[in-house]
Structure 1
Amino acid sequence: MAPQRRAAPRGPEGGGTGTGAGAGQGRGGRRRHSSPSAKRSRGQQESRWRWLRAAFLLLTTAAIGALLSWRYLGAEDGVTEVLARRRENLQDKFIEIPCSEDYDSQKRFEGCTPRKCGRGVTDAVITREEAERIRRIAERGLSLGGSDGGASILDLHSGALSLGKHFVNLYRYFGDKIQDIFTEEDFALYRDVRQRIQQRIAQAFGINSSSMYLTKPTFFSRINNTEAKTTHDEYWHPHVDKVTYGSFDYTSLLYLSDYSEDFGGGRFVFMDAGSNKTIEPQAGRVSFFTSGSENLHRVEKVHWGTRYAITISFTCNPDHGIGDPVLT
């Protein structure tokens, strides 16, 4: 008696590939030749398998390519470490870094010109409630104007206010109406906040706060995702404050709105070689740093919502100092 042959595996469509009419084994153990239709069927099934394997390979390759592209773009973005996360409560965080040579080419002021350089973040200097009050000052002032592009500026010291594609002097342009926009209490709060930030910077860098002078520009910023209309709206370019402004020795930012809640994007990024660091803004958070090339930085583009902050800058040179704004 001839041995029995096992049936061939079932194909992808559920049809037998080695049993049934015209294929496999005939009666009495005799093998019959495949008909032309059976050969065509096997050819079609093999073609389907080849197509499925090719499609699977293509999809797998595309997925791997997408993953590599995502990782590459992430590396290009350069944010590899978060110094301060949203919803963190940082008492004092300070990182010392080597000073650049930017301070060597100018007159030094002992007890102030940076010999110790670095960057810090704190949520313990300005309360959230104070930040919200400061933000309302910015909102009222910027309601008088605003840029056509994504970045609007309000400088209470000089009176500079974004208006369309230009700037106007807030105090001259609106005259006595300013008294209806701001109060003496607003300016007193502004002054008090500035003084506390100045003292915190002096403490971190081991200098006397009285040797530091407020310098220009010191300003509110309001940023949204509106397309830039002029170079003034292109806030996202990497820069060094001391190179850009000259008088800066110490820079600080007080954030007045919350990353991921009030706006998306808009994080502050220190552009370190190979390992950039980022700060996620939240209302009341203060970041500060020496203004030289050791702290090359940029702000990410804001993708949605509105980001409010105030930049407060200090110099060691009394010739570059300015006074606190006064409501006139």
Structure 2
Amino acid sequence: MKNHKKLDKPYTVPCIIAVNIGLIAVIYWWVFHHENIETLVPVSPNVDRLIFQVPCSKDYNLEDFEDCKPKKCGRVVMDNIVSKEDARHLLMVAKKGLALGGSNGGASILDLHSGALSKDNSFINIYRLIEDQQINLLSETDFSIYRKVKNSIHEAITREFKIPKNKLFLTKPTFFSRMNMTEAKSIHDEYWHGHVDKETYGSFHYTALLYLSTYKEDFTGGRFIFIDKDGNKTVEPRLGRVSFFTSGHENLHRVERLISGVRYAITVAFTCDPKHSITDPTAQ
């Protein structure tokens, strides 16, 4: 070993880095391939209606909204309540809007209700930006299709969970999301952590996701994962696919960390509490 002493200094650090990178790659491969994940809904074929019941948590016990709060909890996936044409149109809206901003990290949002648009480390108001710079960006057709899609999702939730339509209200935040390969710069960019919507947002009773891009075509990784005691279960995104579920602890979930590409979706949330209702967005 003494004869090789002169070679130790220039090669020690690179060798350690190479070993560490290799070890990280092996660990990542092992976790990715050995995590106990069941594919609940694959990206294909097309599904008309899949329902998965889960026991309700105690999150709803103290609430007064008897006509609206879940009597039984679950997850529903449908591929035919939003047309591909409308989904593609909303993807175009998302791309146009998010092109005016974007976070420094890998997760950005656009909320047409409040006008909030991710920009660097904070938010700007897209409507003020459009007015100040006289940008012709959002049309009445864009908002009309957005409302049409929201109404279709609202109707599907009330039908599947047997809720009177006039007892379930749109709530905030409802937003477009874009995830890409940009390195996370803050905890807000780390979308891959597990959370409960009713706990995170407060007003949510039912959460819906409309996917605007397709797993394995537009991106890899990025699957939606329900975190269950008996093993995680995934829904693979597909353009026009709607997935909705009760928002309590029975549906703890996360988004798998993106491996490649760009993932677009819309989160549409509903509440039983009229105090937390919001109106539909309109052209400013």
Same fold (TM over 0.5): yes
* 1:206-285 aligned within 5 A: 206-285=162-241
Once the two structures are superposed, residues 148-168 of structure 1 have per-residue CA deviations (whole angstroms, 9 ceiling, x without a partner) of: 110010000011100011111
- Structure 2 gaps, min length 5: 1-25
CA distance in 1, matches of 2:100, 2:27: 47
Q: Say whether the 8 Å CA contact 2:130–2:137 is kept in structure 1.
A: no
Determine if the alignment matches structure 1 residue 300 to structure 2 residue 256.
yes
Give the structure-2-normalised TM-score: 0.87
Q: Say whether the 8 Å CA contact 2:223–2:235 is kept in structure 1.
A: yes
Give the structure-1-normalised TM-score: 0.76
**Aligned-residue identity in percent:** 53
CA distance in 1, matches of 2:179, 2:265: 9
Offset, 1:73: 5.5
CA distance in 1, matches of 2:134, 2:249: 38
SS at match of 1:152: strand
Picking from 261, 269, 277, the partner of 1:313 is 269
| Letter of the 1:256 counterpart | L
Q: Say whether the 8 Å CA contact 1:78–1:271 is kept in structure 2.
A: no
Once the two structures are superposed, residues 247-279 of structure 1 have per-residue CA deviations (whole angstroms, 9 ceiling, x without a partner) of: 000000000001001001000000011221101
Once the two structures are superposed, residues 129-186 of structure 1 have per-residue CA deviations (whole angstroms, 9 ceiling, x without a partner) of: 2111110010111011111110010000011100011111112233265760010010
CA distance in 2, matches of 1:285, 1:231: 28
Q: Say whether the 8 Å CA contact 1:109–1:316 is kept in structure 2.
A: yes
| Letter of the 1:88 counterpart | P
Picking from 38, 47, 52, the partner of 1:95 is 52
CA distance in 2, matches of 1:210, 1:69: 48
Count, aligned residues: 260
Once the two structures are superposed, residues 13-40 of structure 1 have per-residue CA deviations (whole angstroms, 9 ceiling, x without a partner) of: xxxxxxxxxxxxxxxxxxxxxxxxxxxx
| Letter of the 1:78 counterpart | N
Q: Say whether the 8 Å CA contact 2:220–2:261 is kept in structure 1.
A: yes
Q: Which has the larger radius of gyration?
A: 1
Offset, 1:71: 6.2
Q: Structure 1 residues 287, 178: CA separation in 2 closer, same or farther (over 3 Å shift)?
A: farther
| Letter of the 2:183 counterpart | E
Once the two structures are superposed, residues 110-143 of structure 1 have per-residue CA deviations (whole angstroms, 9 ceiling, x without a partner) of: 2101111100100010111211111001011101
Picking from 153, 156, 159, the partner of 1:200 is 156
Offset, 1:69: 9.7
Q: Say whether the 8 Å CA contact 1:225–1:301 is kept in structure 2.
A: no
CA distance in 2, matches of 1:68, 1:182: 45
> Which consecutive segments of 4 or more residues in structure 1 shift more than 2 A?
67-75, 176-179
Which stretch shows the higher mean deviation, 124-133 or 280-289? 124-133
- Between 1 and 2, higher relative CO (CA 8 Å, sep ≥ 6) is seen in 2
Q: Which residue of 2 aligns with 1:150?
A: 106
Determine if the alignment matches structure 1 residue 165 to structure 2 residue 126.
no
Q: Say whether the 8 Å CA contact 1:269–1:277 is kept in structure 2.
A: yes
* 1:52-201 aligned within 5 A: 74-75=33-34, 77-79=35-37, 81-105=38-62, 107-175=63-131, 177=133, 180-201=136-157
Q: Structure 1 residues 153, 178: CA separation in 2 closer, same or farther (over 3 Å shift)?
A: farther
Q: Say whether the 8 Å CA contact 2:65–2:273 is kept in structure 1.
A: yes
